């Protein structure tokens, strides 16, 4: 189980971010506040938190990809690439909120 969590950690963070972005957007549509910037600020803060978590996972997996035997290094490289992809995807999903 730990191996799967290590391999899929970045993608799990991305999925959590995806769920959170749409939850915040739905709450903003249901309960509009006087200041739209509060919802946007919550979205950006949540996105930074998720991107930071995925970035830390990518760094950790990248460091682990230099030690151990070949199968362990391969798994660490896959985990690092998935986490790096997650950082890019989180930034891409946050971009429309910043442009609107």
- Amino acid 8: pLDDT: 94
Axis-axis angle for helices 2-30, 36-64 (nearest 10): 170
Determine the straight-line distance between the first and last CA of the chain, rounded to whole angstroms. 41
- Amino acid 32: pLDDT: 72
- Amino acid 14: pLDDT: 97
- Amino acid 34: pLDDT: 64
- Amino acid 33: pLDDT: 66
Q: Over its length of 100 residues, how does the chain's per-residue pLDDT go in tens digits?
A: 788 999 999 999 999 999 999 999 888 888 776 667 788 889 999 999 999 999 999 999 999 888 888 888 999 999 999 999 999 999 999 998 888 7
What pTM did the predictor assign? 0.88
Dist. CA 56–CA 87, nearest whole Å: 10
**Residues 26, 31, 34, 35, Cα dihedral to 10°:** -30
Quick one: CA dihedral 48, 51, 57, 63, positive or negative?
Answer: negative
Domain that holds residue 77: 2-99
- Amino acid 35: pLDDT: 66
Dist. CA 42–CA 38, nearest whole Å: 6
Q: For the chain, how many structural domains are there in total?
A: 1
């Amino acid at each position: 189980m730990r191996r799967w969590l290590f391999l899929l950690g970045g993608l799990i963070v991305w999925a959590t971010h995806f769920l959170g972005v749409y939850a915040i957007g739905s709450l903003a549509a249901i309960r509009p506040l006087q200041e739209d910037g509060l919802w946007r600020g919550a979205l950006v803060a949540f996105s930074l938190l998720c991107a930071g978590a995925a970035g830390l996972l990518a760094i950790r997996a990248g460091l682990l990809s230099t030690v151990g035997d070949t199968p362990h290094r391969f798994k660490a490289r896959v985990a690092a690439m998935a986490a790096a992809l997650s950082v890019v995807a989180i930034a891409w999903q946050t971009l429309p909120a910043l442009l609107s």
